[in-house]
Amino acid sequence: MSTPSVTDSVTPTPAGGGAARRGRSPWAEFAVKRALGLLGTMVVLVLLTFFIVRLIPGDPAVQVAGSDATAAQVEAARHQLGLDKPLWQQLGDYVGGLLRGDLGDSFSMRGSVRDVVLSRLWFTGTIAFVAMAVVLLLAVPLGMAVGILTRGGRRRWLDRVFTVLTGLVAAVPSYVMATLLILLFPVTLALLFPAYSELNPTASLVLPVLSLAVGPIMIMARVVRREIAVVLEQDFMRTARGWRLGTLRLYGKYAFPSLMTSTLTLSGLILTAMLGSAIVVETVFSVPGLGLGLVRAILAKDYPVIQGIVLILGIIAALLTLAIDTILGIIDPRTLGGRHA
């Protein structure tokens, strides 16, 4: 990248130590560290979810056997579910299944956990990734615009209004935002859908996406506004302004790339957080995604589905973080944690 940027202007750290000193690629060290980290995360997730689900009050065998079951029938259900085995054996069976790629079978519905997860993943993935796209498309231009308009202490009123408004909206929890959006659009304006609709799947996902996106738009816009203020004071921007370039070219080509690192880092954090918020938003809008599935599985004491969904969400979050770090590593190799080769 020949374009001058903030990252280019940072003084390189003195050489010595780390991968470079040992003559290894920083990518190799990065890959080893991350693979070990991913493995550790998975082990912790598997163990934690396995033991935590068993702390949920209530007996899954009673739930599965139904309200008309006798004690003997409940015991038969317990045997069928494998819950009469010692805990270590249940853990062994579960881990053995995972190693074979088998997440087990649902207690509460016919079918494998894999099928349950796959049928729901699309919904969660769609609302989270579309929400993220909306955040990037709106927050970056908004933050840049306010930053540019208020640079050097200009238009202080705009700065104050922006700061107060974004702070207020960002503080609204996603479930409150979801309720407010339902109140505004379907209830008051008779627009869009208050819940997921099989008849209008695309339209009915608009409000869930907005519920997830509005808060992060504000957060990211604030970060971008602060970042751009710093970038605009850099020497290369003063030089670029002297070239009398058009506004779009000036800020798009010279200022925007300098925001990439912080924007991407924040995007990773927001996207991971959105997977958590999806649990609430999916429940409010009745979107049949992983979040709603998790809530239902907890109520149904469906241990395999709870374990499966938590594990898959954990893997997705870990992989997202890895992907963001990899992209950051490509943009700025110093973020790899080692030294330049």
Binding site for other proteins (CB under 8 A): 57-60, 62-77, 80, 106, 108-111, 115-116, 119-120, 130, 133-134, 137, 186, 191-195, 197-200, 202-206, 252, 283, 286, 288, 292-293, 296, 299-301, 305
Closest distance to other proteins from the beta carbon of 294 (Å): 11
Tell me the backbone φ, ψ of residue 105, rounded to 5 degrees.
Answer: -115, 145
Give the integer Cα–Cα distance in Å for 262 and 228: 11
Give the integer Cα–Cα distance in Å for 42 and 84: 26
Cβ contacts of residue 306 below 8 Å, gap of 6+?
49, 53, 294, 297, 298
Nearer Cβ to other proteins, position 100 or 110?
Answer: 110
Maximum alpha-carbon separation in the chain: 86
Nearer Cβ to other proteins, position 290 or 318?
Answer: 290
Closest distance to other proteins from the beta carbon of 151 (Å): 22
Closest distance to other proteins from the beta carbon of 218 (Å): 19
Nearer Cβ to other proteins, position 26 or 293?
Answer: 293
Nearest one of 300, 256, 296 to 279, comparing CA atoms:
296
Nearer Cβ to other proteins, position 63 or 234?
Answer: 63
Nearest one of 236, 324, 339 to 26, comparing CA atoms:
339
| Three-class secondary structure of residue 144 per DSSP | helix
Closest distance to other proteins from the beta carbon of 145 (Å): 15
Query: Which residues in 199-218 are b (16+ Cβ under 10 Å) and which e?
Result: eeeeebbbbbbbbbbbbbbb
> What is the DSSP annotation of 171-219?
TS-HHHHHHHHHIIIIIII--S-SS--SSSHHHHTHHHHHHHHHHHHHH
The answer to whether the beta carbons of residues 74 and 61 sit under 8 Å apart is yes
Which tokens in the block code for residue 275? 């997977």
Closest distance to other proteins from the beta carbon of 262 (Å): 18
Closest distance to other proteins from the beta carbon of 309 (Å): 10
| Other residues' Cβ atoms within 10 Å of the Cβ of residue 246 | 9
Nearer Cβ to other proteins, position 288 or 337?
Answer: 288
Nearer Cβ to other proteins, position 252 or 333?
Answer: 252
Closest distance to other proteins from the beta carbon of 21 (Å): 36
| Three-class secondary structure of residue 54 per DSSP | coil
Angle at the Cα of 111 from the Cα atoms of 107 and 115, rounded to 5 degrees: 115
Nearer Cβ to other proteins, position 186 or 337?
Answer: 186
Closest distance to other proteins from the beta carbon of 261 (Å): 17
Nearer Cβ to other proteins, position 65 or 177?
Answer: 65
